[in-house]
Amino acid sequence: MGLNIHTNHRMLFFIPAISYLVLVYLCAVWPAMVEMEAMEAVPKPFEDELPAIGRKLYGSYNCVTCHTQQIRGDERKATDVDGVRTTPVLTADARFGRELATRAEEYAWQDPVFMGTQRTGPDLSSTGRRLPAVQWHYWHLYNPQAVSPGSLMPPHRFLFTTTPPPPDEEFDYEEVLVIEGLGVKSDRLWATPDAKALVEYLLSLKREHLEQGRLAK
């Protein structure tokens, strides 16, 4: 049969198979190994228990469907205007409180990663620095339109209660300041443990240590 690939059945099998394995290694395995090494070089951030619980709630409520955690930036579209270098996409995203576009190392140790793909609501990658008021986040969860007129976000009233918490669970709840326009049918409102955890997670989204390190380079 010789070495003719058209007549040698072994060659017909092994050449495509070996080629496939080589391509899998070059296109998938090797890049994954490089990324794993890069991730391990990034210090693992300390995460308190409450924000960690809030992160799981963030995922279970599908908040990532409407919110991103990525600041865009495309150096290919950067232009110099009067000696000032401007990246158009990054400039548009600056309203979210970030000075630099996000990079891969910011997602190290995250599982799953909540980059998001759509912004029905604002980006949340630095919401803890941009909106640090706990009560504001409670109001926003209970009735988004009360503090963000025109917001499309649905209310999360199930995270709150107007019934006083049991004495043995009192410290797991937090009283919310009732403001005009919030729509509470009571003069008192409490954030449940889940509401507290979710807000603590949102407040933890600052990424300051990564951004300061990049600015210092």
Q: Is the pTM of this model over 0.75?
A: yes
215 has a pLDDT exceeding 80: no
Token pair belonging to 114: 């909540």
β-sheet bridge partners, residue 84: 81
- The domain in which residue 161 lies consists of 49-216
Is 99 among the domain residues? yes
Q: What are phi and psi of 175, to 5 degrees?
A: -75, 140
Asked, for residue 19, whether it belongs to a domain, the answer is no
In this prediction, residue 104 carries a pLDDT of 80
Question: What percent of the chain is helix, strand and coil (3-state, nearest 5)?
Answer: 50, 5, 45
Q: Is residue 89 part of a domain?
A: yes
- What confidence tens digit (pLDDT) does each residue in 91-133 have? 788 888 877 888 887 888 888 999 998 999 999 999 999 999 9
CATH number at residue 200: 1.10.760.10
Q: Is residue 15 part of a domain?
A: no
Query: How many structural domains is the chain composed of?
Result: 1
Contact 70, 123 (CB under 8 A): yes
Tell whether 24 is covered by a domain: no
What confidence tens digit (pLDDT) does each residue in 51-66 have? 999 999 999 999 999 9
Could you give the CA distance from residue 189 to residue 177 in angstroms, rounded to a whole number?
A: 7
Burial label for 18, CB within 10 Å (0-12, 13-18, 19+), is exposed
* Phi-psi category of residue 80: left, alpha or beta, with phi > 0 → left and psi -120 to 50 → alpha: beta
For range 197-208, the mean pLDDT = 90
Instruction: Flag whether 61 is in a domain.
Output: yes
Q: Which residues partner with 175 through β-bridges?
A: 190
* pLDDT, average across residues 140-167: 95
- The residue whose two tokens read 């924000």 is 51
| Percent of the chain predicted with pLDDT > 90 | 53
Q: Is residue 164 part of a domain?
A: yes
């198979």: which residue's tokens?
A: 17
| pLDDT of amino acid 86 | 72
**From CA 147, how far away is CA 60, in angstroms rounded?**
24
Residue 27 lies inside a defined structural domain of this protein: no
Whole-number pLDDT of residue 211? 54
Sheet containing strand 174-176, strands side by side? 160-161, 189-191, 174-176
Q: Which residues contact 9 (CB under 8 A, 6 or more apart)?
A: 1
